Amino acid sequence: MSQQRKAVALISGGLDSLLAAKLLLDQGIHVEGINFYTGFCVEGHTHAIRKKDKAKPKRNNALWSAEQLGIKLHIIDIIEEYKDVLINPKHGYGANMNPCLDCKIFMVSKAKQWMEENGFDFIITGEVMGQRPMSQRKDLLPVVVRESGADDRLLRPLCAKNLAATLPEREGWVDREKLKDFSGRNRKPQMALAAEFGFEDYATPAGGCCFLTDKNYSDKLVDLWQARNKKEYELDDIMLLKVGRHLRPAPHYKLIVSREEGENKFLKGYKKQFSSIELTSHNGPLTLVDGKLSDEDFKMASRIAARFSQGRDADMVTVKITGPEGNEKTIEVPPMPASEIKQEWYI
Amino acid sequence: MSHYTLDARNSLCPMPVIKTQNKIAELQPGDLLEVVCTDPGALNDIPAWCRINGHRVKETSEKGDEVAIVIEINAG
Ligand code: SF4
């Protein structure tokens, strides 16, 4: 009997990677999944933060995909290494701050490293030719092959028939005839194949697999870099960009105002890193303050925070300002009228 | 057989899963690992990870804002 070949599949949690892996499993290939966590992935945490989402079942779609396929999944933390991909993308950004092409090259090169360390034979991805404007354009698929170093050990089962035969096909490990020739933005062939395999309830993320394709999120990231005069970030920074209302009333400080109880609880975890504003006279949100503020700035920030509280119509409210070291100060301020909150403060 | 604990509090999914996975890589079949988390999503994600990777969740519990998951390590 011939040796069973092993493929490592990039599993994003979306339908395409699920189908790509399934096509190979059905050919008797041993498949294990790999999922990379950049810190920007849509998976996971946001529903842990926002209380209103609690009714929805929480599920990590990459784990769900692996379970449907009956394969192992290795989740790899690439938060640190990914910084360089996002901060200096050789091929630039997409419509927002998404460096999709560099991201794909990086992930495939990491998968290649994993393949070699674990004695696997080739890599599979769910890429479909022409599906996404940046990373899956026909002329760009070879760039991923070349720059990742995966060369002809990178197989894209969903569009393989449109591409030159790769090593697994030429060696007969995989029957090319059973692979697909999908291309373009039409999702119907994938949906039909999903139905054929009996997959239901799969994830259908709009846009892309991460927050960087989201305009609002990207604006907040650019604002962060501009305010710091440096393109850099830590995991906490990028988590906080997902939570609350962000307002920058002046170039030197930003306010993060929670929108509901879940966010309040999440932001509380950052009280040792930031100054915070809480109302004591009325119910209201927790507001974190990012920047160096004068007493006047704190007064203004407190008036803004009061705007989002139940004391918004009161003449005066009492707020407690707590520094990162725990030092507290209480002041009274009139809530800012809605008309004075400038639209351009919202990031 | 040894009993280990892993503090994954204040980290958001999938970090508790990644930490669990990396810790388990150091353990032996038969060992027990108790993971403590504050992200309730871990109650779904860690058992799912265990199911697909062949480990057994012996017990889960919730106390206040914390959840604890006890895993028995298998050969995987
Ligand atoms: S959407 Fe995000 S994770 Fe997906 S390829 Fe683009 S940058 Fe990478």
Prior bond to B14 cis, omega within 30?
yes
For atom 2 of ligand 1, the residue with the nearest CA is A210
Nearest atom within ligand 1 for CA of residue A212: 2
**Contact at 8 Å (CB) between B46 and B35?**
yes
| CB count in 10 Å sphere of residue A327 | 9
Mean pLDDT of all residues in A20-42: 95
Residues A135-150, mean pLDDT to the nearest whole number:
86
Distance from C-alpha of B37 to C-alpha of A297, rounded to nearest angstrom: 37
Candidate list B9, B11, B13, B36, residue with the active-site label = B13
**Which residues, in sequence order, are bridge partners of residue A256?**
A246, A288
CA distance A136 to A130: 5
> Average pLDDT over chain A, rounded to whole?
91
| pTM for this model (two decimals) | 0.90
What is the distance between the terminal CA atoms of chain A, rounded to a whole angstrom? 62
Interval between CA A215 and ligand 1 midpoint (Å):
14
Distance CA B33, CA B27 (A): 9
- Assign A204 a pLDDT band (cuts: 50, 70, 90): confident
Which residue's CA lies nearest to atom 5 of ligand 1?
A: A100
* CB < 8 Å to B40, chain A: 48, 58
Provide the token pair at A6: 């092993």
Model pLDDT, residue A63: 94
Q: What are the pLDDT digits (tens) for A239-291?
A: 999 889 999 999 999 999 999 888 898 899 899 999 999 999 999 999 999 99
pLDDT tens digits along B20-73: 999 999 999 999 999 999 888 899 999 999 999 999 999 999 998 899 999 999
What 8-state DSSP symbol labels residue A161?
G
Instruction: Flag if A43 and B14 touch (Cβ within 8 Å).
Output: yes
Angle at alpha carbon of residue A15, lines to A201 and A211, rounded to 5°: 100
Which of ligand 1's atoms lies nearest the C-alpha of A135? Answer: 5
- A32 in contact with B at a CB cutoff of 8 Å? no
* A256/A241 Cα distance (integer angstroms): 9
**Dihedral angle computed from the Cα positions of residues A215, A103, A237 and B25, in that order, rounded to the nearest 10 degrees:** 140
Q: Which amino acid is at A276?
A: S
- The ipTM estimated for the assembled molecules is 0.93
CB pair distance less than 8 Å for B49 and A76? no
Per-residue pLDDT at A58 exceeds 70: no
Residue B26, min C-alpha distance to chain A (Å):
15
- Give the strand pairing for A317-322 and A287-291: unpaired
pLDDT tens digit sequence for A66-112 = 999 999 999 999 999 999 999 999 999 999 999 999 999 999 999 99
Ligand 1 atom nearest to CA at A41: 3
Q: How far is the CA of A84 from the centre of ligand 1 (A)?
A: 14
- Alpha helices for A149-234 (secondary structure H): 167-170, 188-197, 215-228
The reported pLDDT for the residue numbered A70 is 97
Cα angle value A287/A263/A291 (rounded, 5°):
30
How many residues can be counted in chain A? Answer: 347
As given in the structure block, the two tokens for residue A221 are 């990231």
Clarify whether B37 is annotated catalytic.
no
Show the domains of chain A with their CATH numbers. Answer: 6-209 (3.40.50.620), 243-345 (no CATH)
> Which residue in A187, A204, A212 sits closest to A103, CA to CA?
A212
Which tokens belong to A345?
A: 């403060």
Sign of CA dihedral A242, A247, A250, A255: negative
Please answer whether residues A328 and A318 qualify as being in contact, where contact means their C-beta atoms are separated by less than 8 angstroms.
no
DSSP state, residue A282 = S
**B14 with A60: Cβ contact below 8 A:** yes
Residues of B with CB under 8 A from a CB of A: 10, 12-15, 17-18, 21, 39-41, 44-45, 48-49, 51-54, 65, 76
The fold for domain B3-72 equals: Translation Initiation Factor IF3 (3.30.110)
Q: How far is A107 from chain B (nearest CA, A)?
A: 17
Q: A29-38, A131-140, B21-30 — which is least confidently predicted?
A: A131-140
